[in-house]
Amino acid sequence: MKISIIGATGFVGKALVNEALLRHHQVMAISRHSNQLSQHAHLITMAGDITDTPWLTARLRGQDIVISAFNGGWQNPNLYQDTITGNQSILQAVRQSGVKRFIVVGGAGSLEIALGVDLIDSPDFPAAIKPGAQAVKEFKQTLQTIQDLDWTFVSPAAVLEPGERTETFRIAGNQLLMNGHVPAKISVEDLAVAILDEAEKPKFIRKQFTAAY
């Protein structure tokens, strides 16, 4: 498949690029810093601003699937608004490009910890990342109103960290996965496996899912 990965030099984005290339897909890596990626026969890098919607639209035309690992930057003082603006531009570009398959990597904040209660609403949720998590949750709500696009919203486990590619993890819907009384973990490498599995064999069209050990 021809796969465009937005945010390709970020923590999740790099893992997605590596996993997609491992599976012999044609990858277009889109990032301001795409020159940081190693050259590969099946990799095209595009450096640009994703808020430039016409530029992004032109890049996405002809692709089979777009995977967005866009992040507004956790240290960004304007995190909420920049996340909103970036996601809106990406969504508009996907729709204008004609690509029908769109996978969004969100956060664990929008996973339910009880009926009608999301992790972001819990008193222990970190205040520093709450603006970004709220913006991502609102983007999920926007996606849920769209019926003419085959979107999927992916939430990692509450703890996402570097690790190993084991291909052994649990998949669930919109519920936060736990290990006993503590939130479950997953490596970024296995999160990428779960996302590329969904790209190749969709099971969560217009739905949310999560992956954890």
Give the tens place of pLDDT for each residue, 59-102.
Answer: 999 999 999 999 998 788 899 999 999 999 999 999 999 999 99
Kindly report, residue by residue over 131-153, the tens digit of the pLDDT: 999 999 999 999 999 999 999 99
> Rounded to two decimals, what is the model's pTM?
0.96
- For residue 119, give every residue at least 6 positions away whose Cβ sits within 8 Å of its Cβ, in sequence order, or none: 108, 109, 110, 111, 112, 113, 125, 158, 176
Local structure of 207: helix, strand or coil: strand
Share of the chain above pLDDT 90, in %: 92
pLDDT of residue 78: 92
| pLDDT band per the 50, 70, 90 thresholds, residue 36 | confident
pLDDT of residue 98: 97
Say if residue 35's pLDDT is above 90.
no
Report the distance separating Cα 30 and Cα 53, nearest Å: 13
